[in-house]
Structure 1
Amino acid sequence: MSEKVVVIYSGGMDSYTVLHRAIQDGYDVYALSFNYGQRHVKELDVAKNVCDMFRINHKIVDITAINQLIGGSALTDDIDVPEGHYASENMKSTVVPNRNMILISLAVGYAVSIGADKVYYGAHSGDHAIYPDCRPEFVEKMRDVCAIANYETIDVVCPYLNNDKIEILKDGLSMGLDYAYTWTCYNGREKACGKCGSCRERLEAFAENHATDPLAYEAV
């Protein structure tokens, strides 16, 4: 019987790759998605469709109540989504306070309840400059805490922690993944905007891998 793992799955290209990396590695995957009040739920719809298609155990959990406590992010509040490259200073407006600590904590509780001993999430090196909760030191400390927070030891696994999005996509393409089944844009319109930091980084990853992004864009 395969070992159970929980994968925090947003529906974006990074978590989509992490999801399939866990499957490829032989785990029995339980995908966990969160509605935390992000400005659109398009990626959650994409996540549901992927899990239905591949018959992956999947839960979407509504935690929008936390918006009473945390805010000030362009991803959750009525703040314009910044455009331009991810490394730009204005991309800090997309930080959601304490998001990954909250999501990992909930995922660890779920892992304990189903008898899993690992939680996967998609932090990568391209996020280190902007997002403190994607940096190696955060992952290391969360791993330490999650090893002692319950009677059961839960490991926090980031298979691409020291890889950038170009390398993540390269691995996904080597697995034959179709990235038409992902949504990366910070906007939830019919087409990806092509201008936000998330779109720019995604398009650069495809260009560096000499591959064509299957998503339609308003502007590239």
Structure 2
Amino acid sequence: MTNKVVVIFSGGMDSFTVLNRALKDGKEVFALSFDYGQRHVKELKCASKVCEQLNVNHKVIDISAINQLLAGSSLTDDIDIPEGHYEAENMKSTIVPNRNMILISLAVAYAVSVGATQVYYGAHSGDHAIYPDCRPEFVEKMNDVCQIANYEAVEIFSPYLNVSKTAILTDGLAMNLDYSNTWTCYNGREKACGKCGACEERLEAFRDNNAVDPIEYE
């Protein structure tokens, strides 16, 4: 059985931990990042830097042309990024329509082409409240479809699906991971804002682990 896996790697702390978990599990990793027109494109620079350091095969695919079909999200349109926790109603503006189904579908195609049997995907329980495409039922149904979509079955594997961002960071710190080369903030500025839902959840995870976030905040 092949040891190859594709890891959807945004450059954020969750997918960074997933990438390292796959390596720790002895997998041959093919990292895949997407430029879909997100304003926090800085995360892609982090992804490239990490893969270069780890000597991991990495592709960054420009799919920003589809942005004209994905209107209405504050992550891709000229809409202010909301402040507050993910559980707040206003955070729904950060939903990019059908994003994860699109990204997973492309990752599965890549997996088939390189002979990988799994796609690692960093959904976690903290995303469940606001993002339908991070919930267990979505991942389970996508996994079912990806078993039959090609002659080669591909498993959608989310190692942290039912745990919190705090637990993801706990695992990462246990692996002695350096989170200075990750980007979580939804704003694409030089420093993280510390106020958007992504920043708040990240900072909460570091506090819960009695650790200091190594990136700079405004």
Give me the TM-score of the superposition, normalised by structure 2: 0.99
Contact 2:169 2:206 (8 Å CA) reproduced: yes
C-alpha distance in structure 2 between counterparts of 1:8 and 1:75, whole Å: 18
For the residue of structure 2 that corresponds to 1:201, the secondary structure is: helix
For the residue of structure 1 that corresponds to 2:159, the secondary structure is: coil
C-alpha distance in structure 2 between counterparts of 1:64 and 1:217, whole Å: 28
Shift in Å at residue 2 of structure 1? 6.5
Give the equivalent residue in structure 2 for 1:117.
Answer: 117
Paired residue type of 1:127 = D
Give the equivalent residue in structure 2 for 1:87.
Answer: 87
Give the equivalent residue in structure 1 for 2:22.
Answer: 22
Give the equivalent residue in structure 2 for 1:108.
Answer: 108
C-alpha distance in structure 1 between counterparts of 2:88 and 2:215, whole Å: 24
Give the equivalent residue in structure 2 for 1:216.
Answer: 216
Q: After superposition, where does 1:24-173 map in structure 2 within 5 Å? A: 24-173=24-173
C-alpha distance in structure 1 between counterparts of 2:190 and 2:69, whole Å: 30
Give the equivalent residue in structure 1 for 2:186.
Answer: 186
Give the equivalent residue in structure 2 for 1:6.
Answer: 6
Structure 1: gaps spanning 5 or more residues = none
Question: How well do the aligned residues superpose, as a CA RMSD in angstroms?
Answer: 0.9
Question: CA offsets per residue over residues 94-135 of structure 1, 9 Å max, x none?
Answer: 000000000000000000000000001100000000000000
Paired residue type of 2:5 = V
Question: CA offsets per residue over residues 128-162 of structure 1, 9 Å max, x none?
Answer: 00000000000010000000000000000000000
C-alpha distance in structure 2 between counterparts of 1:214 and 1:27, whole Å: 28
C-alpha distance in structure 2 between counterparts of 1:195 and 1:101, whole Å: 28
Matched-pair identity in %: 73
Shift in Å at residue 70 of structure 1? 1.3
C-alpha distance in structure 2 between counterparts of 1:30 and 1:122, whole Å: 15
Contact 1:8 1:31 (8 Å CA) reproduced: yes
For the residue of structure 2 that corresponds to 1:216, the secondary structure is: coil
For the residue of structure 1 that corresponds to 2:190, the secondary structure is: coil
Q: How many residues are treated as equivalent by the alignment?
A: 218
Contact 1:2 1:26 (8 Å CA) reproduced: no
Consecutive aligned runs of 4 or more in structure 1 exceeding 2 Å deviation? none
Give me the TM-score of the superposition, normalised by structure 1: 0.98
Shift in Å at residue 69 of structure 1? 1.1
For the residue of structure 2 that corresponds to 1:192, the secondary structure is: coil
For the residue of structure 1 that corresponds to 2:152, the secondary structure is: coil
Question: CA offsets per residue over residues 25-68 of structure 1, 9 Å max, x none?
Answer: 00000000000011131000010000011110000000011112
